[in-house]
Amino acid sequence: MPLVSALAASHAPNILLEPGAEWEDFMNLHYSMAPQGSAPRPTLEQQKKLRQDAEAAFAALRADLEQARADVLIVVANDQFVNFFLNNIPTFFVTLADEVKGQFTRHTFRYRNHKELGLAIVRAGMDKGIDFSFGEHIELQHTQNVPLYFLLPEPTIPILPIYVNTWVDPAPTPRRCYQVGELIREVALQSSERVAILATGGLSHFPGSPRIGEIDTQFDHKLLEVMRRGQGPSLADYSVEELLQAGDSEFLNWMVVVGCVGAAKATYTSYMPDFVATGWGFVSWKL
């Protein structure tokens, strides 16, 4: 059956942190890397407005997901030194666990994992020359939990976490991520179940860098415009370096979903820079 829904959304922790003291904590820690730490920061009212805008964007994506009546949600995200460390960094990893769990401050998350779909993707990859890493245990982290809090707050369907290494150099090329998306689309087509997919991360941000606080909104808007026009395949022409320069390394997660949808036009986009670290982006493709 063809994919029934494709989504992409930022996973910035401050989307789910409470405006006020928790945002201050977040800013204080991240800005210890850079002199911009003394720059003006968003007021409490601005923080609340950003949260409201993000909730509205997530509500639009959730409506599309629910309308699609998906049986499973694939979640494409990057690990950030929770499951993988420098002794072994998988470029692409498929979760073959029975269930997956995680925590974010006072929020807990627990979902069934669609192991069978994961195995089908791993096997299809081996047939087509994409050799995924795989494993039977992962811990969910903010890269999944933040969007899932808004999009799938009740574990009504299983998920399938797939990881892309966007975090440790060298990262895969946008074209390779696009090819992974094409493969997932083929596997979904062979499935009798209704498969939806979500990419998380981005958009422009520079965590752990002296450039923290910079947001390349111009580049982000260009990416969103290309997706609205249905020119997603052209995004595979970007180099990793071009994405890194714009702070868009996590767009590699999105490239997997772009590979799934090909030339379909994004039917919903929303964008808001948080004036702290990240350009928050939200996209849905009604398929």
- Which residue's CB is nearer to another protein, number 17 or number 183? 17
- Which residue's CB is nearer to another protein, number 88 or number 192? 88
- Which residue's CB is nearer to another protein, number 114 or number 142? 142
- Which residue's CB is nearer to another protein, number 64 or number 248? 248
Minimum Å distance from CB 123 to another protein? 30
Minimum Å distance from CB 10 to another protein? 15
Minimum Å distance from CB 74 to another protein? 21
Minimum Å distance from CB 30 to another protein? 7
How far from 189 is each of 1, 82, 117, 199, 287, CA to CA, in Å?
Answer: 4, 32, 12, 19, 13
Residue that is written with structure tokens 């997603």 in the block? 232
Minimum Å distance from CB 86 to another protein? 6
CB atoms within 10 A of CB 85: 10
Minimum Å distance from CB 87 to another protein? 8
Instruction: Give the type of residue at 90.
Output: P
- Which residue's CB is nearer to another protein, number 27 or number 283? 27
Contact footprint for another protein (CB under 8 A): 13, 17, 21-22, 25-26, 28-30, 32-33, 80-82, 85-87, 102-105, 139, 141-142, 145, 167-168, 207-210
Is residue 243 reached through a cis peptide bond, with omega within 30 degrees of 0 on the bond before it?
Answer: no
- The distance from CA 95 to its chain's CA centroid, rounded to whole angstroms, is 16
Minimum Å distance from CB 242 to another protein? 20
Pairing of strands 99-104, 139-140: parallel
- Which residue's CB is nearer to another protein, number 87 or number 192? 87
- Which residue's CB is nearer to another protein, number 33 or number 60? 33
